[in-house]
Structure 1
């Protein structure tokens, strides 16, 4: 049967010709010229004499450069993800990093000039019609700059980071990209990518899951010493930067990046830790249903029936669009466009990087989604999740590009909300008790992931960085730290853990966003509050939701929650209410599986 929607994305509408695109080469040259213009303008400006016209001229160039940098980075990200052997695309990574470093140096100089503007003149600037709409962003940059090194030293750091920081992430990607795993299927041995084997951790057959887990662990153990180097040196550069700036808390940068307070983060984790016990009961029940005494790591995402339904890509598309339309016709139309215009790379083939992502093109005003679709419930959830990211950016497209820099925690709010819509609908529309149990369990898996797996990642990273301050951390010690964090987060409920998870999880090796973990849990619980609002009043929800998304790039998360949800994120009440919604799923699951 002919498929309605393609599972291979179309990048030619962005830049025709892939990594050989002359149009893309010209676009990069255009950015280079603009960066030179910006460098001259900022270099010539004098803080004490800076007037409104000069400031607006610089800000206009900053807008264009920001937009083009993201366009270039997103396109290169797509090229390297769809084909890990694309050597030309890998060369572009270095070039893109050099552009980013140049932009960062210029902006460091500009930010320092903002700090030198006298307070009374600065406050006057912020009230002018051209600057007022981006006042929050400029004020934020000015404040953060005061906590950094002098401009010359920050510029030097930006230069050194290209080969001394980002390069370690590139090294990690290169090593993972070369990993292939032999897999026997119907007496035929195939070479699969990491992403393809990871999909088999969802298989209903425990022997298949165990084989996938063992093969992945063996592959990452084989390269573990190299990953130890990448992680230690990446973290070392980051910690040296912090030390020179006088930052003692490793959470300072991620909290600042996510525009949230230490108290909010602590309150969230504390609420989760105090309300986990029912999820332990769920894990014990799942073990019983799978016929084992205790779950292993590779059982966490396993379906509890061997007859789990396969969902075609077309079916997933139709389900997602239909469920989105229940809450937001605009969101449904966005998803429909993404499927019809081939914005999604979902083909199950080797040669792709593992994982999934959504990336936006602010100049072209398009989105691309990357994943490996194998037809299970988790894949459907991932697809909805990434479309939620895409819709968030789609709504932001109308805003000033400088107000579009929303942090990861609120980005994960939009994606998790989209995922929740589809998961809840699937449970409601289940055709029989067994199907309902299976779908409900798949939904609970996500709660376990956010409350336990993500918590383990957070604990590991925090403990690793504290040890890294004292020196190089060995492979064996990294394994111990990872397993200890998993045992704490999962309450010692598992028989076998995954000590090499630190090596196989890309997020630990990303340089752009430190602590690429707690924002997921924040987004999950924050989206619970949004979902509760959606169920209360579907008629006005779309307007409310879009207005909330508009503000995600121009205020702290505490102010965002107060303005749109009338809640205090530093009070445990909000978090406990979200956790209680998740508990209801567990209670229903336990009741349905009592027999």
Structure 2
């Protein structure tokens, strides 16, 4: 089994003639789109729309392939100047596309409904065209859109690249050795309390080396987003995010209302865990991810693969078969190393009809769970891979549904087969992850909300950012955590904050976790008949609002009761955990 992903199916390297030819073809297509939008006035409206969308399909597919190849290579070699230059080149090509794409959207937004309905090709894009009408109301003139896209390369996106570079290359001093930030953060899951505490302390110290630069990155990204929101006529960055997410504010408010009601239940879990680990004043941060029960088991890659295939074959042979392929066909880059990004992600490689997954595998069950999560994303990819190219992008909240559903299935399946110390370990692991998507995600939502408010009239240096983060953690975790031992630098290690095009990438995790639990309850009731409906819903996510996709499963997300039912399922598991802990 290869431990690094293979990208040879895309290109053999940056000097591959196919790569160079594709770069040139992107320019040809951009020029072609430019000419098209200039002559739409003299063309038949339907024919012009079809030609524009087919040109956009080619552009998106080709630049997606080139950009993905460069992005994946850069993710595991962040200090490579040649790759950084190619990444910048791709961004320039995106920027040049901005003007004709803006003009095209403005033309497409004027298409009459009857023209769309009368054409089979256009009908496939009926939802996209409806969303385009909404988006156009927030677009500026074509020249300004091109300028914004160009300026972002040396603005928000440049600050984001700086964040990634600093966090992937910072040297962490640990017991006389130098390790990466990913390695030191992995130690939070160690069964050894001394290792966890020492690693936590070393991690906090390491941020002091890069905190000023990262604070500048955060301030400038959020200020840019706020400025553009105002120019585009959005009431706030949150309103813009909700529209981008195809999610109503009623749904977000209903979910947050239910989460706030159930926070005390998660605080109860944290106190019980803290007491079991010998802490009387709540759980200190360094023990937040401490394993419990029979926790010393580590899984080789082969054991991880076999476990996942076994567990998910009971859900869907399609799912387990895809997992086998992922391991056997080099979809996954497993181990941490210098210059590699931290965390984990899944990337849809449409050009291969495959996915590519990055992890920083350390062998503990949490890493197996992470792979199940990312392979859930890959399963979602499989459901939309034969959608038309412009119908393959789904919104942030539903993006975390299939992944979290997989985590739920893995842990529930293993709980049924376990007892004693092993069951305690699995139950606690499940609740630990759930507490992250409830308490920690809520703290991140509060933090980002506060940062957006403050960046309007102030520049936040590291001490102020740490204070905002600690305040958010205290509100979200309450007396579940030891208030004197929190994590003031959580803003400095989460890439979700550092995007000029994607704000509030926090509540989607809570959405995904709670929606997935609701779906899983349906699966437990319906069995195998659930799977085709689930796949159809995933396939529809790029061409429906969040509420419409959920309605396909019979769920009303605008009512707090739906979210309460999911949270109650977690509350029952917390009661079981507390009973075991005594």
Q: TM-score, normalized by length of structure 1? A: 0.94
SS in 2 for 1:310: coil
Aligned to 2:435: 448
Contact 1:105 1:158 in 2 (8 A): no
Contact 2:127 2:544 in 1 (8 A): yes
Quickly say closer, same or farther: Cα 1:147–1:349, change in 2 above 3 A.
closer
Which 10-residue stretch deviates more, 279-288 or 189-198? 189-198
CA contact (8 A) 2:293 2:423 kept: no
1:355, distance to aligned residue in structure 2 (A): 0.8
Report the counterpart of residue 570 of structure 1 in structure 2. Answer: 558
1:51 alignment counterpart: 45
Runs of 4+ in 1 over 6 A off after TM superposition: none
Match for residue 458 of structure 2? 471
Question: Is 1:393 the counterpart of 2:389 in the alignment?
Answer: no
Q: What runs of 5+ residues in structure 1 fail to find an aligned partner? A: none
Offset of residue 435 of structure 1: 0.7
Structure 2 partner of 1:518? 507
Structure 1 counterpart of 2:350, from 346, 362, 365:
362
Matching residue within 92, 98, 101 for 2:95: 101
Q: How far does the alpha carbon of each residue in 1:428-478 deviate from its partner, in whole angstroms, 9 at most, with x for none?
A: 222x30110011000001110011001100110011101111232222211
TM-fit CA distance, 1:126: 3.9
User: 1:12 Cα shift?
Assistant: 1.3
Contact 1:204/1:306 (<8 A) preserved: no
**Could you tell me which residue of structure 2 aligns to residue 13 of structure 1?**
9
5+ unaligned residues in a row in structure 2: which ranges?
A: none
Conserved? CA contact 2:377–2:399, under 8 Å: yes
CA distance in 1, matches of 2:57, 2:382: 18
- Tell me if 1:539 matches 2:528: yes
**1:91-147 deviation digits (Å, cap 9, x = unpaired):** 111011112222232211111223445xxx344234421101111011101221113
Q: Pick from 549, 556, 579: which aligns with 2:538? A: 549
Matches within 5 A, 1:487-506: 487-495=474-482, 496-506=485-495
- Partners of 1:102 and 1:123 lie apart in 2 by 32
For 1:126 and 1:228, locate their aligned partners in 2 and report how far apart those are by CA, in whole Å.
50
**Is 2:55 the partner of 1:61?**
yes
Equivalent-residue separation in structure 1 for 2:562 and 2:9 (angstroms):
44
Residue 473 to residue 344, structure 1, CA distance change in 2 (3 Å)? same
Aligned to 1:174: 165
Between the aligned partners of 2:238 and 2:462, the Cα distance in structure 1 is 23
Partner residue in 2 for 1:292: 279
Distance 1:473 1:50, change over 3 A: farther
Report the equivalent of 1:147.
138
CA change 1:536–1:305 in 2 (3 A) is closer
- Is 1:486 matched with 2:473? yes
Given candidates 141, 147, 150, the residue that maps to 1:156 is 147
Matched, 1:215 2:209: no
* CA offsets 1:182-212 (integer angstroms, 9 cap, x no match): 333xxxx443211111100111112211121
Structure 1 CA distance for aligned equivalents of residues 238 and 475 of structure 2: 20
1:269-348 aligned within 5 A: 269-293=256-280, 294-305=282-293, 307-348=295-336
Hey, what's the Cα distance between the residues in 2 that align with 1:297 and 1:105?
Answer: 48
Provide the rounded CA distance (Å) in 1 between the counterparts of 2:450 and 2:22: 43
Residues 333, 359 of structure 2: 8 Å contact kept:
yes
Partners of 1:111 and 1:571 lie apart in 2 by: 34
Q: Secondary structure at the match of 1:276?
A: helix
The question of 1:42 aligning with 2:37 is answered yes
- 2: CA distance between counterparts of 1:542 and 1:214? 45
How many equivalent residue pairs?
Answer: 579
Equivalent position of 1:132 in the other structure: 123
CA contact 1:109–1:151 (8 Å) conserved in 2: yes
Report the RMSD for the aligned CA atoms in angstroms: 1.7
Residues 491 and 497 in structure 2, CA contact (< 8 A), matched pair in contact too: yes
CA deviations on 1:394-434 (whole Å, 9 max, x unpaired) are 1111111111110121110011111211111122222x301
Q: In structure 2, how many angstroms separate the alpha carbons of the residues matched to 1:452 and 1:225?
A: 27
Distance 1:211 1:221, change over 3 A: same
Is the aligned partner of 1:415 residue 2:403?
Answer: yes
CA contact (8 A) 2:262 2:567 kept: yes
| TM-fit CA distance, 1:150 | 2.8
* Structure 1 residues 486-537: Cα deviation after superposition (integer angstroms, max 9, x where no partner): 1101114222111111112111112332111111110111111221121122
Q: How far is the alpha carbon of 1:280 from its aligned partner?
A: 1.3
Matched position secondary structure for 2:120: coil
Report the alpha carbon displacement of residue 288 of structure 1 after superposing the two structures with TM: 1.3
Q: Corresponding residue for 1:247?
A: 234
Greater shift, 536-545 or 354-363, is seen at: 536-545
Check if 1:197 corresponds to 2:191.
no
For 1:313-336, what per-residue CA distance to the aligned partner results, in whole angstroms no more than 9, with x for missing partners?
A: 111111111222111111111111
Q: Deviations over 1:529-549 (max 9, x none)?
A: 221121122222221111011
